[in-house]
Protein backbone atom coordinates (compact mmCIF):
# COMPACT_ATOMS: atom_id res chain seq x y z
CA UNK A 1 0.00 0.00 0.00
CA UNK A 2 3.00 2.32 0.36
CA UNK A 3 3.37 2.29 -3.42
CA UNK A 4 -0.28 3.22 -3.86
CA UNK A 5 0.05 6.13 -1.43
CA UNK A 6 3.15 7.35 -3.23
CA UNK A 7 1.39 7.09 -6.60
CA UNK A 8 -1.63 8.92 -5.19
CA UNK A 9 0.64 11.72 -4.02
CA UNK A 10 2.21 12.00 -7.46
CA UNK A 11 -1.16 11.89 -9.20
CA UNK A 12 -2.57 14.62 -6.99
CA UNK A 13 -0.17 17.07 -8.63
CA UNK A 14 -0.97 15.83 -12.13
CA UNK A 15 -2.85 18.28 -14.37
CA UNK A 16 -5.10 15.45 -15.64
CA UNK A 17 -6.16 14.74 -12.07
CA UNK A 18 -6.90 18.42 -11.55
CA UNK A 19 -9.08 18.36 -14.70
CA UNK A 20 -11.33 15.77 -13.05
CA UNK A 21 -12.22 18.47 -10.54
CA UNK A 22 -13.02 15.96 -7.81
CA UNK A 23 -14.43 17.12 -4.51
CA UNK A 24 -13.11 15.75 -1.18
CA UNK A 25 -15.71 12.93 -1.07
CA UNK A 26 -15.05 11.93 -4.66
CA UNK A 27 -11.30 11.87 -4.05
CA UNK A 28 -11.89 9.70 -1.01
CA UNK A 29 -14.04 7.31 -3.04
CA UNK A 30 -11.44 7.23 -5.81
CA UNK A 31 -8.67 6.31 -3.39
CA UNK A 32 -10.84 3.71 -1.65
CA UNK A 33 -11.63 2.11 -5.00
CA UNK A 34 -7.95 2.03 -5.98
CA UNK A 35 -7.10 0.51 -2.61
CA UNK A 36 -9.67 -2.26 -3.09
CA UNK A 37 -8.30 -3.06 -6.56
CA UNK A 38 -4.70 -3.21 -5.33
CA UNK A 39 -5.68 -5.44 -2.41
CA UNK A 40 -7.51 -7.76 -4.79
CA UNK A 41 -4.43 -7.91 -7.02
CA UNK A 42 -2.33 -9.21 -4.13
CA UNK A 43 -4.96 -11.87 -3.50
CA UNK A 44 -4.72 -12.98 -7.11
CA UNK A 45 -0.98 -13.42 -7.39
CA UNK A 46 2.29 -13.03 -5.55
CA UNK A 47 4.38 -10.49 -7.45
CA UNK A 48 7.55 -12.04 -5.99
CA UNK A 49 6.81 -15.09 -8.11
CA UNK A 50 6.47 -13.07 -11.31
CA UNK A 51 9.38 -12.42 -13.68
CA UNK A 52 8.29 -9.27 -15.47
CA UNK A 53 10.45 -8.32 -18.44
CA UNK A 54 8.50 -5.19 -19.30
CA UNK A 55 5.63 -3.01 -18.14
CA UNK A 56 3.57 -0.50 -20.09
CA UNK A 57 5.22 -1.72 -23.27
CA UNK A 58 4.22 0.26 -26.31
CA UNK A 59 4.15 -1.98 -29.37
CA UNK A 60 3.38 -1.19 -32.99
CA UNK A 61 3.36 -3.38 -36.09
CA UNK A 62 1.86 -3.63 -39.54
CA UNK A 63 -0.76 -6.07 -40.67
CA UNK A 64 -1.15 -5.71 -44.43
CA UNK A 65 -2.23 -2.10 -45.02
CA UNK A 66 -3.06 -1.50 -41.36
CA UNK A 67 -0.75 -0.25 -38.65
CA UNK A 68 -1.62 -1.64 -35.22
CA UNK A 69 -0.62 -0.10 -31.91
CA UNK A 70 -1.08 -1.30 -28.37
CA UNK A 71 0.25 -0.88 -24.86
CA UNK A 72 0.82 -4.09 -22.93
CA UNK A 73 0.41 -3.71 -19.18
CA UNK A 74 2.98 -6.35 -18.35
CA UNK A 75 5.10 -8.91 -20.20
CA UNK A 76 6.39 -11.84 -18.14
CA UNK A 77 8.65 -14.81 -18.60
CA UNK A 78 7.15 -17.98 -17.16
CA UNK A 79 9.07 -20.87 -15.62
CA UNK A 80 9.45 -22.49 -19.05
CA UNK A 81 10.95 -19.35 -20.56
CA UNK A 82 7.76 -18.55 -22.47
CA UNK A 83 6.40 -15.04 -22.83
CA UNK A 84 3.11 -14.27 -21.09
CA UNK A 85 1.11 -11.07 -21.54
CA UNK A 86 -0.80 -9.88 -18.46
CA UNK A 87 -3.45 -7.22 -18.79
CA UNK A 88 -5.18 -5.63 -15.80
CA UNK A 89 -8.89 -4.91 -15.99
CA UNK A 90 -10.72 -2.66 -13.56
CA UNK A 91 -14.24 -3.41 -14.81
CA UNK A 92 -16.32 -6.45 -13.97
CA UNK A 93 -15.39 -9.73 -15.59
CA UNK A 94 -17.60 -10.79 -18.52
CA UNK A 95 -20.26 -13.46 -18.26
CA UNK A 96 -18.96 -16.83 -19.50
CA UNK A 97 -20.98 -16.39 -22.70
CA UNK A 98 -19.03 -13.18 -23.48
CA UNK A 99 -15.58 -14.38 -22.46
CA UNK A 100 -14.54 -15.45 -25.94
CA UNK A 101 -15.51 -12.10 -27.42
CA UNK A 102 -13.21 -10.38 -24.93
CA UNK A 103 -10.40 -12.76 -25.79
CA UNK A 104 -10.72 -12.01 -29.50
CA UNK A 105 -9.30 -8.58 -28.81
CA UNK A 106 -6.37 -9.67 -26.68
CA UNK A 107 -4.96 -11.76 -29.52
CA UNK A 108 -3.76 -8.41 -30.84
CA UNK A 109 -1.27 -8.36 -28.00
CA UNK A 110 0.08 -11.72 -29.13
CA UNK A 111 0.34 -10.53 -32.70
CA UNK A 112 2.21 -7.38 -31.69
CA UNK A 113 4.65 -9.40 -29.56
CA UNK A 114 5.30 -11.81 -32.39
CA UNK A 115 5.96 -9.01 -34.85
CA UNK A 116 8.14 -6.84 -32.61
CA UNK A 117 9.88 -9.39 -30.42
CA UNK A 118 10.07 -12.23 -32.92
CA UNK A 119 8.17 -14.57 -30.58
CA UNK A 120 4.51 -14.85 -29.77
CA UNK A 121 3.53 -15.23 -26.12
CA UNK A 122 2.31 -18.62 -25.00
CA UNK A 123 -0.61 -17.07 -23.16
CA UNK A 124 -2.49 -13.84 -22.61
CA UNK A 125 -4.01 -13.33 -19.15
CA UNK A 126 -6.71 -10.87 -18.23
CA UNK A 127 -6.78 -10.08 -14.50
CA UNK A 128 -10.15 -8.67 -13.49
CA UNK A 129 -9.24 -6.86 -10.30
CA UNK A 130 -12.82 -5.86 -9.48
CA UNK A 131 -13.99 -9.41 -8.84
CA UNK A 132 -10.74 -11.38 -8.73
CA UNK A 133 -11.32 -13.36 -11.91
CA UNK A 134 -8.56 -14.43 -14.26
CA UNK A 135 -9.28 -15.34 -17.88
CA UNK A 136 -6.49 -16.91 -19.92
CA UNK A 137 -6.17 -17.48 -23.65
CA UNK A 138 -3.62 -19.89 -25.09
CA UNK A 139 -1.98 -18.51 -28.22
CA UNK A 140 -1.39 -20.70 -31.25
CA UNK A 141 -0.40 -20.19 -34.90
CA UNK A 142 -4.06 -20.88 -35.76
CA UNK A 143 -5.35 -18.21 -33.39
CA UNK A 144 -2.94 -15.65 -34.89
CA UNK A 145 -3.94 -16.66 -38.42
CA UNK A 146 -7.61 -16.23 -37.50
CA UNK A 147 -6.87 -12.81 -36.02
CA UNK A 148 -5.16 -11.72 -39.20
CA UNK A 149 -8.07 -12.89 -41.37
CA UNK A 150 -10.68 -11.18 -39.22
CA UNK A 151 -8.72 -7.94 -38.92
CA UNK A 152 -8.17 -7.63 -42.66
CA UNK A 153 -11.84 -8.38 -43.27
CA UNK A 154 -12.84 -5.68 -40.79
CA UNK A 155 -10.43 -3.22 -42.38
CA UNK A 156 -11.95 -3.93 -45.82
CA UNK A 157 -15.40 -3.31 -44.38
CA UNK A 158 -14.22 0.02 -42.90
CA UNK A 159 -12.74 1.06 -46.25
CA UNK A 160 -15.97 0.13 -48.05
CA UNK A 161 -18.05 2.07 -45.53
CA UNK A 162 -15.78 5.12 -45.95
CA UNK A 163 -15.95 4.91 -49.74
CA UNK A 164 -19.76 4.71 -49.78
CA UNK A 165 -20.34 6.79 -46.62
CA UNK A 166 -22.58 3.99 -45.46
CA UNK A 167 -22.33 3.89 -41.67
CA UNK A 168 -25.32 2.03 -40.28
CA UNK A 169 -26.07 2.36 -36.60
CA UNK A 170 -25.77 -0.75 -34.48
CA UNK A 171 -27.54 -0.42 -31.19
CA UNK A 172 -26.21 -1.89 -27.98
CA UNK A 173 -26.38 -1.06 -24.26
CA UNK A 174 -23.46 1.31 -24.91
CA UNK A 175 -25.89 3.62 -26.76
CA UNK A 176 -26.87 4.94 -23.32
CA UNK A 177 -23.46 6.62 -23.13
CA UNK A 178 -23.29 7.75 -26.76
CA UNK A 179 -22.89 11.49 -27.31
CA UNK A 180 -24.59 11.23 -30.71
CA UNK A 181 -27.74 9.43 -29.62
CA UNK A 182 -29.89 12.51 -30.26
CA UNK A 183 -28.81 12.44 -33.92
CA UNK A 184 -28.89 8.67 -34.35
CA UNK A 185 -31.44 7.28 -36.86
CA UNK A 186 -31.83 4.18 -34.68
CA UNK A 187 -33.40 6.43 -32.04
CA UNK A 188 -35.47 8.60 -34.36
CA UNK A 189 -32.84 11.28 -34.79
CA UNK A 190 -31.38 12.68 -37.95
CA UNK A 191 -28.14 14.33 -38.84
CA UNK A 192 -28.02 18.10 -39.12
CA UNK A 193 -27.69 19.40 -42.70
CA UNK A 194 -24.21 18.68 -43.95
CA UNK A 195 -21.78 21.55 -44.09
CA UNK A 196 -21.13 22.12 -47.79
CA UNK A 197 -17.51 22.95 -47.04
CA UNK A 198 -15.73 19.69 -46.48
CA UNK A 199 -12.49 19.52 -44.59
CA UNK A 200 -9.50 18.39 -46.58
CA UNK A 201 -8.35 14.92 -45.53
CA UNK A 202 -5.38 14.96 -43.23
CA UNK A 203 -1.98 14.09 -44.63
CA UNK A 204 -1.40 10.36 -44.24
CA UNK A 205 1.05 9.50 -41.48
CA UNK A 206 4.35 7.78 -42.15
CA UNK A 207 2.79 4.38 -41.60
CA UNK A 208 -0.37 4.89 -43.68
CA UNK A 209 -3.70 3.93 -42.11
CA UNK A 210 -3.37 3.19 -38.44
CA UNK A 211 -5.77 1.17 -36.34
CA UNK A 212 -5.31 1.80 -32.63
CA UNK A 213 -5.77 -0.99 -30.15
CA UNK A 214 -9.05 0.48 -28.94
CA UNK A 215 -10.39 0.86 -32.47
CA UNK A 216 -9.34 -2.66 -33.31
CA UNK A 217 -10.86 -4.06 -30.14
CA UNK A 218 -14.12 -2.30 -30.95
CA UNK A 219 -14.00 -3.58 -34.51
CA UNK A 220 -13.41 -7.15 -33.38
CA UNK A 221 -16.23 -7.10 -30.88
CA UNK A 222 -19.62 -8.57 -31.76
CA UNK A 223 -21.65 -5.83 -33.36
CA UNK A 224 -18.59 -4.08 -34.75
CA UNK A 225 -18.58 -3.03 -38.42
S1 LIG B 1 -24.56 6.16 -33.05
FE2 LIG B 1 -24.60 5.98 -30.81
S3 LIG B 1 -26.77 5.73 -30.30
FE4 LIG B 1 -26.56 5.28 -32.50
S5 LIG B 1 -26.27 3.06 -32.63
FE6 LIG B 1 -24.21 3.98 -32.55
S7 LIG B 1 -23.66 3.98 -30.37
FE8 LIG B 1 -25.89 3.67 -30.50
HSE, CB side, 13 Å, CA atoms: give it for residue 89: 20
CA of 175 to the centre of ligand 1 (A): 5
pLDDT confidence of residue 195:
57
Crossing angle of helices 24-44 and 2-12, rounded to 10°: 140
pLDDT confidence of residue 206:
40
Q: Which has the higher per-residue pLDDT, 56 or 94? A: 56
Return the bridge partners of 51, or none: 77
Residues 103-158: tens digit of each pLDDT: 766 788 899 999 999 999 999 999 999 999 999 989 999 989 998 998 999 999 99
The finding on whether 180 has its CB within 6 A of some atom of ligand 1 is yes
Q: For residue 38, with 0-12 CB atoms within 10 Å meaning exposed, 13-18 middle and 19 or more buried, which class applies? A: middle
> Is residue 97's pLDDT more than 80?
no
Residues 168-198: tens digit of each pLDDT: 888 999 999 999 999 998 999 887 766 554 5
- Report the percent of the chain where pLDDT is more than 90: 59
Please check whether residue 67 is in contact with residue 59, taking contact to mean a CB–CB distance below 8 angstroms: no
Please check whether residue 137 is in contact with residue 103, taking contact to mean a CB–CB distance below 8 angstroms: yes
At residue 163 the predicted structure's pLDDT band, cuts being 50, 70 and 90, is: very high
Please check whether residue 222 is in contact with residue 104, taking contact to mean a CB–CB distance below 8 angstroms: no
Give the 3-state secondary structure of residue 207: coil
Atom number of ligand 1 nearest to Cα 170: 5
CA of 159 to the centre of ligand 1 (A): 20
pLDDT confidence of residue 94:
83
The finding on whether 169 has its CB within 6 A of some atom of ligand 1 is yes
This model's pTM is above 0.95:
no
> Is residue 199's pLDDT more than 80?
no
Ramachandran angles phi, psi of 130, nearest 5°: -65, -45
| Radius of gyration over every alpha carbon of the chain, rounded to an integer in angstroms | 21
pLDDT confidence of residue 1:
77
Q: Delimit the domains of the chain by residue range.
A: 2-44, 50-189
Instruction: Return the biggest CA–CA distance within the chain.
Output: 62
Please check whether residue 69 is in contact with residue 212, taking contact to mean a CB–CB distance below 8 angstroms: yes
pLDDT confidence of residue 13:
85
Mean pLDDT, rounded, for 65-69 = 90
At residue 207 the predicted structure's pLDDT band, cuts being 50, 70 and 90, is: very low
Amino acid sequence: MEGLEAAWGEMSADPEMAELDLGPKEREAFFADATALVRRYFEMENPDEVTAVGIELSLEASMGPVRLRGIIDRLDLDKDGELVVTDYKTGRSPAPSHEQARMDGVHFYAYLCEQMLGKAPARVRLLYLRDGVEITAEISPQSLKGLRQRTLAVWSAIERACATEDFRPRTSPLCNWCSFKAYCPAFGGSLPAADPIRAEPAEPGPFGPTLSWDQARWAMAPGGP
